[in-house]
């Protein structure tokens, strides 16, 4: 059953020099208890699309969608107040840098008990008790002492665990984790991913993992959306994306991952060029200026989405039956 269903989402920002078309007509869904990965470079629209779903963008953002349904409710029809009430209670968010998302002026206890008091109407003693349970649940040692500390007194890994505890405090149905491990070193990164995986299995919470790192996606997600230039260029289950990718941008992402067998002499193959200027995105395929297989039709027309299976979909003119047969170069 679908917990979240988004249809034809478009988000743009009106700024002094024009309109940035950050998200352009994306549709996707998240099933109950599923881990969905959204991968792409900076500026691909992955974070903006989720902030649009949550209604967390500034006033100068224009969010238009045919439908955004969450747990049977149409979010596009909810008031700002009703939407805000869902944050923290039904949808939890984990951000990249807990140092900037946690308030440096408040203790862990006050930040952890606040959502419990607001959304679950707990009194001070009940909220403190639940906060201690949550810190234990995210494997924070000596939770009584940690409750009294301020964010700057904790290590990066502990701060991220506190963020996770806040995100799961009210038992949300879905967690959006936006680059949750980017600011951490690799050992702590692995621990945080393991913790998220464990919490998901324990609580059956759906997770949307936003990242530029396909390695993170591989260990966590059963289904993956690849975003480029504000569009979804390929989507499929983990097997489709890692073993049968069809879009040249997905090939580029996979080729830029270091391979153990190539070390130490193997070189990473970068994707040449830079992401498109979303003030003036290309008229056709957004990847056309960087794609080595670009054809004249690619510059003129946005590629349609071809369904290769129930879950594997690709937006590329190479999928046309009369297009040249190109296979991935590894």
> Where do contacts with ligand SF4 occur on this chain (CB under 6 A)?
247-248, 285, 287-288, 291, 293-295, 298, 303, 316-318
Q: Which is nearer to ligand SF4, 130 or 246 (CB)?
A: 246
Q: Which is nearer to ligand SF4, 188 or 294 (CB)?
A: 294
Question: Do 230 and 24 form a contact (C-beta atoms < 8 A)?
Answer: yes
CA separation for the pair 205, 163 (Å, rounded): 16
**CA 98-47-112 angle, 5° bins:** 30
Nearest to 48 by CA among 28, 23, 69: 23
Q: What's the closest the beta carbon of residue 255 comes to ligand SF4, in angstroms?
A: 14
Beta bridge partners of 52: none
CA separation for the pair 310, 178 (Å, rounded): 27
Q: Which is nearer to ligand SF4, 141 or 324 (CB)?
A: 324
Q: What's the closest the beta carbon of residue 135 comes to ligand SF4, in angstroms?
A: 47
Q: Which is nearer to ligand SF4, 196 or 291 (CB)?
A: 291
Q: Which is nearer to ligand SF4, 132 or 295 (CB)?
A: 295
Backbone angles phi, psi at 288, to 5 degrees: -55, -40
Q: What's the closest the beta carbon of residue 251 comes to ligand SF4, in angstroms?
A: 9
Q: What's the closest the beta carbon of residue 305 comes to ligand SF4, in angstroms?
A: 11
Q: What's the closest the beta carbon of residue 250 comes to ligand SF4, in angstroms?
A: 9
Q: Which is nearer to ligand SF4, 145 or 300 (CB)?
A: 300
Helices (H), the chain: 46-54, 80-86, 98-101, 108-119, 124-137, 143-147, 156-168, 186-203, 214-220, 238-243, 248-255, 296-300
Nearest to 228 by CA among 291, 182, 174, 172: 291
Q: What's the closest the beta carbon of residue 36 comes to ligand SF4, in angstroms?
A: 23
Q: What's the closest the beta carbon of residue 284 comes to ligand SF4, in angstroms?
A: 7
The dihedral region occupied by 229, where left means phi > 0, alpha psi between -120 and 50, and beta the remainder, is left
Q: Which is nearer to ligand SF4, 111 or 235 (CB)?
A: 235
Strand locations in 138-276 (E): 174-178, 206-211, 223-228, 231-237
Q: What's the closest the beta carbon of residue 233 comes to ligand SF4, in angstroms?
A: 7
Question: Do 273 and 289 form a contact (C-beta atoms < 8 A)?
Answer: yes
CA separation for the pair 38, 30 (Å, rounded): 11
Half-sphere exposure of 141 (CA within 13 A, CB side): 2
Q: Which is nearer to ligand SF4, 174 or 298 (CB)?
A: 298
């Amino acid at each position: 059953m679908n917990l979240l269903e988004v249809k034809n989402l478009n988000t743009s920002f009106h700024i002094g020099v024009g309109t940035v078309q950050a998200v352009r007509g994306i549709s996707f869904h998240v099933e109950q208890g599923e881990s969905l990965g959204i991968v792409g470079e900076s500026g691909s629209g992955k974070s903006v699309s989720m902030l649009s779903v949550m209604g967390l963008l500034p006033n100068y953002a224009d969010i238009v969608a045919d439908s955004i349904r969450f747990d049977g409710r149409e979010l596009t029809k909810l008031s700002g107040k009703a939407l805000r009430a869902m944050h923290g209670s039904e949808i939890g968010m984990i951000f990249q840098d807990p140092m900037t998302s946690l308030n440096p002026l408040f203790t862990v206890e006050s930040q952890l008990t606040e959502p419990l008091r607001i959304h679950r109407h707990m009194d001070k003693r009940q909220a403190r008790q639940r906060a201690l349970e949550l810190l234990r649940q995210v494997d924070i040692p000596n939770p009584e002492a940690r409750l009294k500390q301020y964010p700057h007194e904790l290590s990066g890994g502990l701060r991220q665990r506190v963020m996770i505890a806040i995100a799961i405090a009210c038992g949300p149905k879905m967690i959006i984790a936006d680059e949750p491990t980017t600011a951490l070193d690799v050992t702590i990164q692995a621990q945080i991913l393991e913790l998220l995986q464990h919490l998901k299995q324990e609580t059956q919470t759906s997770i949307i993992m936003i990242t530029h790192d396909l390695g993170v996606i591989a260990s966590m997600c059963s289904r993956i959306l690849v975003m480029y230039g504000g569009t979804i260029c390929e989507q499929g289950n983990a097997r489709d994306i890692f073993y049968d990718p069809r879009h040249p941008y997905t090939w580029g992402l996979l080729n830029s991952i270091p391979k153990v067998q190539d070390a130490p002499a193997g070189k990473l193959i970068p994707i040449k060029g830079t992401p498109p200027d979303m003030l003036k995105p290309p008229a056709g395929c957004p990847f056309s200026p960087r794609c080595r297989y670009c054809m004249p039709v690619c510059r003129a027309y946005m590629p349609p989405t071809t369904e290769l299976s129930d879950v594997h979909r690709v937006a590329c003119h190479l999928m046309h039956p009369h297009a040249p047969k190109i296979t991935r170069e590894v």
